[in-house]
Every structure is written in C-alpha cells, then in structure tokens.
Amino acid sequence: MPDIKNPKPSTFIFEDDGLVPNNTLPFVIYKGAVELDHASPEKTFEDLFNANGWGQDIWRDGIFDYLHYHATVHEVLGIARGHARVRFGGHGGREFELDPGDVAILPAGTGHQCLRASEDFSVVGAYPPGAKMQVTRPTPENHAAALKSIPQVKLPDSDPVTGKKGPLTALWQR
C-alpha cells in the first residue's frame, strides 16, 4: 500500500444548474494525498483503489475536455502525472489545479471538464462495485433522467484512499 500523506479531505457541494444535476453528497478532494512510486505512479493508484474496493472498470487516461457527468456511478480520479486545471460542478462550479498525488471523488452526477492539462497529464479512474459508467452530456433530457437514476446509485462501503474506516463513508450519507 502506498503512503497516505494527507488523509484530510476537503469537501464541496455543487448546486443543480438545470443541466448538470450534481449531487447533494459532497465532491471530495484530497490534495497531495498519495506518495507515488515514480517508476509507476499509475500502478500506485490502481493498487490503492483495488485494495479499497474501488477497482471496478479501472482506466488510465486524461479527463475529457468537454463537460460531462456520470449519472449511474460514483467515480474516483487519481492524478498520476502532470498537472491540469479541471472544473467540477458544471459551468457554475469551481476550478481546481490538480497535481500528482491528488485524488478527487465525484458523487454520481458531478459535472467535470478538463480546461487545460500538461502533455504528460495522466489520471487513473475507477468506480466502486455497481452499475457501469456511462458518459452523460448536459442536456435537458439527460438531466431529467439523471434526477431519477442518481438517488438509486449505491453508496460505497469504503473510501478509495483510506479504506473502510475512511472519512468518505461518514461524509456520504443519505
């Protein structure tokens, strides 16, 4: 298991803007949370997320440069390399600078969009057990459907960074 350097999360609530539903559960970010293996930082996140029950459909890539959300599943993003400015919460949301070792945890419905990234930007994304991820674009029709599916998304049993006793399970309660 990697060294967890900053297990204190910051939380933010983004309002429904009529196109991006967001969620009443908080968006969570751990800045500088994970000590990365510089030879394979992606593997560090893959191992961490798998160990903490967030290993479903794990992937390596960047973050789309268009606004989207996932209405059927929660998502975790681990920043392995490079840096980026990402807006979470839709057009009225908030911009964050993301760096290696940062982790963002998005409750279902949270809008996100990469505004700019370094050429070496690399993210590991994953999901807790449950429904498959679907990319959803902000349209009135998608918003109406998301308002029905988001409350049905199962809450995770663990925090993808700190495990079963981590703060996410206390922060995310309906």
- Closest by Cα among 12, 14, 58 to 31: 12
Q: Specify the pTM.
A: 0.96
Q: Are 11 and 89 in contact (CB under 8 A)?
A: no
pLDDT at position 8: 87
Residues 14, 45, 10, CA angle at the centre, nearest 5°? Answer: 30
pLDDT along the chain (174 residues), means of 10: 78 98 98 90 96 96 98 98 98 97 98 98 96 95 98 96 93 89
Domain ranges of the chain: 10-157
Residue 47 main-chain phi, psi, to 5 deg: -65, -45
CATH match for 10-157 among 1.20.1440.120, 1.10.150.110, 2.60.120.10, 3.30.70.270: 2.60.120.10
- Closest by Cα among 112, 123, 115, 104 to 71: 112
